[in-house]
A and B are shown apart, each in its own frame.
Chain A
Amino acid sequence: MSDLTRLTIAEARDGLAAKQFTAEELARAHIKAMEATRDLNAFVTETPEIALLRAKESDARRAKGAVASGMDGIPTAVKDLFCTEGVRTTASSHMLEDFVPTYESTVSMNLRKAGSVMLGKTNMDEFAMGSANITSYFGPVKNPWRLNDGKDRVPGGSSGGSAAAVAAHAAMCATGSDTGGSIRQPAAFCGIVGLKPTYGRCSRWGMVAFASSLDQAGPMTRSVRDAAIMMQAMVGYDPKDSTMANEPIPDFEAALKGSVKGLKVGIPAEYRIDGMTKETEASWQAGIDWLKAAGAEPVEVSLPHTKDALAAYYIVAPAEASSNLARYDGVRYGLRESADDLTDMYEKTRAAGFGREVRRRIMIGTYVLSAGYYDAYYVKAQKVRALIAHEFAEAFKRADVLLTPTTPFPAFALGEKMDDPLQMYINDVFTVPASLAGLPAMSLPAGLSADGLPLGLHLIGKPFDEETVLRAGLAIEQAADFKMLPQLLRAGS
């Protein structure tokens, strides 16, 4: 039998259906791979017993002819901010180090009901705040892609553990969550596919909250088809999330059947920024050429306020975070530092429980929402956000989908860009605008830089039009023919 960890979800689904292997065999192969790649620090908690139990249940369903979905029996990693019943959920924070939820998040429950097999909980930036997975209380994650200079590359963030696990073939797929790029940027850095659906597609219920008007769960996989299959199992209307859209849910995989002939692909001029590497620019041009060769029509579009998106984001997101994270007070769950007096207990608990970047963002958020500053900062940022959303709507009058790079540069070495938070924030310059406008967007691997690190292309769609994003993504995937394995997995390394 060939290595079961090399399969895509679609291949594993077919192999399971053809009885070439069992879900238990799939689970065992991935548990072994998860253990063999522990050096990456991709998992905060491994759950091999749960994986085997659910794999056996999957095999039993199959034996009865009661397969739950295309995800039935598929080994899946879950980002450690989806609450999982009976399995500790830390958001990679000291604050939640010992938190064991008594309930399951809607998204992870949907995946469970679809038959997916949870391998474990993946490492991430603390409370999803970061772009390199270096703010985790449980230590940084290493990118399985490395060069010969002896330095580890960051996997991106905040879903860095999920991206590393999928790239290292320790999981067939993983859940991610995206607030300003936390699915797409690590997907680009690790050479995998990451899809952030339209805001309101996936329920946020049971997800550890960061910025509620931006947070959205999505799939991280090794192919566009897999992203469609996994996403199908994650979505679904949930009355427990009042911001969910009750929109009809298409068959995402069926959308891949269409052609991109005549598709208008918008190329936003403002995404050509200083600081973008030549290789990034070249891979963007390659993406344009591939879509053109497949029959699509590139059109120039303009998004003039792209340059202001990041600044607006760094007001809106910390503001919402400061409010969301007020719940960590040492009273109902999470860390408590002892003190004689209640206020003292709050202050000591929060100082000890939150890491530096989280404390920094709570302080910024508290400041911009404080009396006298609310209009100048928060309201101003929400106005700029409205402008950005409006510009996207205008661009989509001329284009069906937009194509940009995912990040201005490939994965950087661990330890770089750490002195100045603003340097780190630049990572998300291309992903944040779509987040602010709530649009679906996907990153997929387009090739390698000259020294051998993955480069991602980024497709942005109209609201609730993940189908066009997926279809255009498939055309790029077929043309790019990205088959490279990370150095970690190559024979002899």
Chain B
Amino acid sequence: MALDTETVRRIARLARIRVPEDDLAPLADELSHIMNWVEQLDAVDTSNIAALTSVADIRLPQREDKVNDGGAPEKVLANAPDRQGNFFAVPKVVE
């Protein structure tokens, strides 16, 4: 399926990746090329197949509902681009 520039603009927005206006059309061609190729799967009959949910036959393990880690704000914040006290700081979101 061919993706138009409007769709690419929408995906870029969903993915939170800034795409300059001039790049939208070439990117649409590029992504369409890949999507056209993966559409070969339409020819595969999967009418009686359940989608695979886990490749390994394992049950999700459970642990006791107990705190087993924490209390390390310096480690958690060590790579923060910006911080205030023990908080991550971001650009202002409310006026």
Residues on A lying within 8 angstroms of B by beta carbon are 98-100, 102-103, 198-200, 213-214, 239, 242-246, 305, 308, 311-312, 314-315, 322, 326, 329-336, 339-348, 350-351, 354, 359-360, 362-364, 366-367, 370, 377, 379-387, 389, 420-422, 436-438, 463
Interface size bucket, B side?
35 or more
B67 part of interface (Cβ distance < 8 Å): no
State the main secondary structure of chain B at its contact with A. loop
Q: A350-B18, A363-B8, A422-B37 are in contact. Are A199 and B51 (CB under 8 A)?
A: no
Q: A102-B78, A347-B17, A367-B3 are in contact. Are A331 and B31 (CB under 8 A)?
A: no
B33 vs chain A, min Cβ distance (A): 7
- B49–A308 touching, CB < 8 Å: no
Q: A245-B56, A334-B79 are in contact. Are A314 and B51 (CB under 8 A)?
A: no
- B44–A384 touching, CB < 8 Å: yes
Residues on B lying within 8 angstroms of A by beta carbon are 3, 7-8, 10-12, 14-19, 27, 30-31, 33-35, 37-42, 44, 46, 49-58, 60-61, 63, 72, 75-76, 78-82, 88, 90-93
- B17–A351 touching, CB < 8 Å: yes
- A322–B15 touching, CB < 8 Å: yes
- A463–B52 touching, CB < 8 Å: no
Q: A213-B55, A367-B31 are in contact. Are A329 and B15 (CB under 8 A)?
A: no
Listed by A's residue number, 21 A-B pairs whose Cβ atoms lie within 8 Å are A102-B79, A213-B54, A243-B54, A245-B56, A308-B40, A311-B37, A314-B37, A326-B16, A331-B88, A331-B90, A332-B76, A333-B81, A342-B91, A343-B16, A360-B34, A363-B15, A380-B42, A383-B50, A421-B30, A421-B34, A437-B55
Distance in angstroms between the alpha carbons of A386 and B54 in the assembled complex: 9
Q: A387-B46, A422-B37 are in contact. Are A333 and B79 (CB under 8 A)?
A: yes
- B78–A100 touching, CB < 8 Å: yes
- B55–A438 touching, CB < 8 Å: yes
